[in-house]
Amino acid sequence: APGVAPVVYGQADRPPRGDYSRASDDYTCAQDYDAYTEADHDTYRRLYERQSALLPGLASQHFIDALPSLGAKDRIPRFEEVNERLRRATGWEIVGVPGLIPEVPFFSLLANRKFPVTDWIRKPEEFEYIVEPDVFHDLFGHVPLLFNPVIADYIQAYGQGGLKAAELGACEMLSRLYWYTIEFGLIREQGGLRAYGAGILSSSGELNYSVRSPEPQRLPLSLERAMRTLYKIDSYQHTYFVIDDLQQLFDLTAADFEPLYRQLRDQPTVAADALLPGEVAL
Ligand code: PHE
Ligand code: FE
């Protein structure tokens, strides 16, 4: 496959780690299960153990309920085993990739209910923090909510919308929405604020920070606002957007975005930490 342009997560300042010569034209590759060492499985086990202990009171109940569907906690799951359950639950499947992939192939996979999962795992010294998504972020962070029917349909619709956005030159705006929902979204639940975004759910520090810290600002999700807002890829977020329930996310994004893209194109972007006149943080 050709080179890689990690656009969805913003431009990384170093070349991606994965070996893209393993990938086919659609950027997918078989999970190289035999390549995992015992140390790799141990890294996964320790990440899973720590992260799952942090979830109560911070993670969305939708996520907590779905997490056991991932399967193995003590080793990196085989993608095929996850898929047996996932296909039955929502018709989604996960496919291996060497790392971040360009936006159009990414959108095409999502539009076909295929979620790309990086197959390699971070090194032990990256236990606390890794710049690129690895198998722990992709599996633990993203895959449980693919078992949820509302999110399952939302992410497919996002993929279809992405293909359209690519034709309209609007990928950047749409990627910001992905960032502030699928990656860093917060949701109101019975017990209070909770996280449903994968970037939060797979981070030990940001989970508590995003939900409890008085530092960041939290705003009700607005498409226009999220699509204009720049984001940080190398620090905790300064702004989080909150939804009332998953159905709200689905309903908000149901309309055709083309008029919105046209309207937003003439508006300035908003800094990651800006509060606009008239806005009140939650
Ligand atoms: N409705 C959007 C469009 O017409 C597509 C979309 C769906 C985007 C779901 C995000 C999430 O472009
Ligand atoms: Fe992610």
Give me the interface pTM, i.e. the ipTM: 0.94
Mean pLDDT of all residues in 102-122 = 97
Q: How far is the CA of 263 from the centre of ligand 1 (A)?
A: 16
Token pair recorded at residue 160: 């279809």
Number of the ligand 1 atom closest to the C-alpha atom of 154 = 9
pLDDT score of 2 = 28
- pTM > 0.90: yes or no: yes
pLDDT score of 16 = 84
Answer positive or negative: Cα dihedral of 27, 96, 142, 43: negative
Q: What is the DSSP string of 121-163?
A: ---GGGSS--SS--HHIIIIIIHHHHTSHHHHHHHHHHHHHHH
pLDDT band at 12, cuts 50/70/90?
low
What's the mean pLDDT when you consider all of the chain? 93
Q: How far is the CA of 198 from the centre of ligand 2 (A)?
A: 6
- Kindly give the pairing relationship between strand 114-118 and strand 93-97: parallel
pLDDT at 51 over 90: yes
Mean pLDDT of all residues in 191-196 = 96
pLDDT band at 40, cuts 50/70/90?
very high
Ligand of minimum distance to the alpha carbon of 162: 1
pLDDT at 80 over 60: yes
pLDDT at 6 over 80: no
pLDDT at 5 over 50: no
